[in-house]
Structure 1
């Protein structure tokens, strides 16, 4: 085997010391920026390190100092733009404070999350930001907290775990958006979510996600306050791939007492729901109204543009990183804690119930609103 094909040996502190003609201890102090060392020695060591392309052994450094300047982030689905934007907020904030980020995707699987947390702790991250796959099965997070490791929850809370949590109150915005649909005359409102469940949804059942539980509770309250029965038979969980989402959409729209409005719990689901509505030859909002959680660029590129629940996702990620860094540095949390609110963005995808004149939300009367819903651009993330 040629020397070109062989793996190059890592440059060590001893190599740098030899090239700079100083002791190994002097080189280590200069490279680690600690202890007493003359300016002449420091310059010679740094010049030698640059010439040799020296890279510090971060694991060894973290073992010596107890700090790795690294944050571990665990999310359910990095394909979901919601988590992509939140992660951008985390990394931008972490970078400003000198921290690197290690990101692990769990596919919303609790066992994978347990393993991800273990791997990150083994890598000696200074703290963890976790969007828990389950708000109920959180023993692994409890152990992290009880061990005194810095921990912040993102987007979802965990039952009986008193740690800093950065999330929107989904019950409030769900109540508001459901009232918007009720005001338009809708009584058969479907809700489609990826949340995994072994049983068919029924009112009062314990759900594994605080986010989905709060959204459904907001819907239930809005129906109750308006004097109408909540259509729990139109709640669909276990929406997996695009095919299953389209199947669930057809179920709620083609049943004996079909939905007149559909709510998608996130942007990935929304894409497949809109696709299913197109395949069925239905029009938004003339035949079926549509509302979704999260506001992304593509939601404004459809005909008509979609009504959404907009969340300050980037800001939430940034706040989670800032909260974690305060914990790592031993500083107290902000009091009061930052609050984040979602907003209902009215566009053109909610209209009156089909077959009624309706006095509810107005939608565009332009010619484009009378055709099948479609994208005005193919550049969809």
Structure 2
């Protein structure tokens, strides 16, 4: 058994100072990159630190400099490839600038987000990037902003909070994609999202997510321009796990008033919807057309390849991290913020609606309205 006394102790600033033949204060300034120190001293200290395999005590250094060189990132669902790709853009950018990243997942729960923000502040992160679980309940973000701590929002805006926000305006691209479906002949267009609400969707209701609100606004605008009413009974929120998404899909595709096209609000939802369509023995796009948000490699490998709304997700992460680091370092913007726009990529999953099949009794019939909402 190896005793604790035989373990190699950590190398300290004092050890580096002794090896470099300088004072402890000089070594600390050279290693922390603060204060005045000559080039000769800096070179000797850094050489000694490398030879001794010195690793700085980040907590002590942050107390000396007021900077931890750490960024806190809070997202709703890291399993969602959308946030995974955005986070990669953040971490790549942070690493190039000498910053570490602490990532927290909240499962889109507001309470978890409030706690996550406080934990990151307690860990003395230099700034925060947050994808708000709610664009409405944002008092905790207001407190961060009022405290002067650098804050950037990712993917979603926060009402009444004027901070740099890096997100795509979804209204225009949702309008374009809906018009594309309408021009193909579709009228019964469904929309499926995991956004949590306490009641079924009705047109114009306040939603907690700016992204989903914009997407539904764009859809409604496209219907109205055609002189049509958006079928709000086909807007399904509160989609949860894979089984609930498949259940919603089955309900959307039942009966003579079934959806003829489905729009999935993210890649995880899309996978479960496509699986449910296959389990029903239906074909895309012969029986139902399909369109989804975000463009991932697998969407090009299906038969047929899927029509998608491609967002610059990685670039969104880069832009958010760059803006936060600029704030942390006290630099002013050198150019206008990066313009983030989405585009419709037309592939093979959208076609004309299938001919209506009469019900056995000759009646019109209606698909069940399973909004999967959670009672308050």
TM-score by length of 2: 0.89
**1:47 Cα deviation from its structure 2 partner:** 4.0
- Equivalent position of 1:261 in the other structure: 261
Name the SS for the 2:321 alignment partner.
helix
For 2:142 and 2:38, the matched residues in 1 are separated by 48
Which segment is superposed worse, 48-57 or 204-213? 48-57
Q: Distance in 1 between matches of 2:218 and 2:39?
A: 65
3-state SS in 1 of match to 2:253:
helix
Q: Mind listing any 5+ residue stretches in structure 2 that lack a counterpart?
A: 357-376
Distance 1:259 1:37, change over 3 A: closer
**Partner residue of 1:122?**
122
Q: Tell which deviates more after alignment, 249-258 or 263-272.
A: 249-258
- Measured in 2, the distance between the counterparts of 1:44 and 1:336 equals 42
Looking at structure 2, the residues matched to 157 and 353 of structure 1 have their Cα atoms a distance apart, in angstroms, of 36
Cα deviation, 1:220-243, whole Å, max 9, x if unaligned, reads: 111111111111001111111111
Report 1:105-254 matches (<5 A): 105-254=105-254
Moved more, 9-18 or 120-129: 9-18
- Alignment correspondent of 1:326: 326
Q: CA deviation at 1:92?
A: 1.7
Residue 11 (structure 2) pairs with residue 23 (structure 1): no
Between the aligned partners of 1:40 and 1:331, the Cα distance in structure 2 is: 29
SS of the residue corresponding to residue 302 of structure 1 reads coil
* Structure 2 Cα separation of the partners of residues 182 and 136 of structure 1: 32
Residues 307 and 348 of structure 2 are in contact (CA less than 8 Å); yes or no, is this contact kept in structure 1?
Answer: yes
Cα distance, 1:106 vs structure 2: 1.0
Bigger mean CA offset, 86-95 vs 229-238: 86-95
Q: Contact 2:34–2:65 (CA<8 Å) still a contact in 1?
A: no
Alpha-carbon distance in 2 for matches of 1:349, 1:334: 42
Count the aligned residue pairs.
356
Shifted more, 343-352 versus 5-14: the winner is 5-14
Unaligned runs of 5+ in 1: 357-381
1:160 to 1:36, Cα distance in 2 relative to 1, 3 A: closer
Question: Shift of residue 34 of structure 1?
Answer: 4.3
Cα distance, 1:49 vs. partner?
A: 2.6
Q: 1:9 to 1:286 in 2, by over 3 A?
A: same
Supply the distance in 2 between the matched residues of 1:269 and 1:88 (Cα, whole angstroms): 21
Check if 1:316 corresponds to 2:316: yes
Bigger mean CA deviation after superposition, 293-302 or 254-263: 254-263
1:293 counterpart residue number: 293
Give the conservation status (yes or no) of the 8 Å contact 2:110–2:134: yes
With 297-306 and 330-339 compared, the bigger mean Cα shift is at 330-339
Displacement, 1:102?
Answer: 1.5
Measure, in 2, the Cα distance between the counterparts of 1:108 and 1:344: 27
CA drift of 1:323 comes to: 1.3
Q: Is the 8 A contact 2:29 2:37 kept in 1?
A: yes
Structure 2 distance, partners of 1:216, 1:294, is 16
CA 1:6–1:129: 2 relative to 1, 3 Å: farther
**1:47, 1:323 → 2: CA distance?**
34
- How far did residue 16 of structure 1 move? 2.7
Using a 3 Å threshold, how does the CA distance of structure 1 residues 136 and 123 change in structure 2: closer, same or farther?
same
Distance 2:323 2:62 in 1: 22
CA offset at residue 13 of structure 1? Answer: 1.4
2:362 alignment counterpart? none
Question: Is 2:84 the counterpart of 1:80?
Answer: no
* Residues 310 and 34 of structure 1, relative CA distance in 2, 3 Å threshold: closer
| Aligned-residue RMSD, C-alpha | 1.9
Q: Which residue of 2 aligns with 1:275?
A: 275
Mean alpha-carbon deviation: is it higher for 332-341 or for 219-228?
A: 332-341
Query: In the TM superposition, what is the alpha-carbon distance from 1:216 to its structure 2 partner?
Result: 0.6
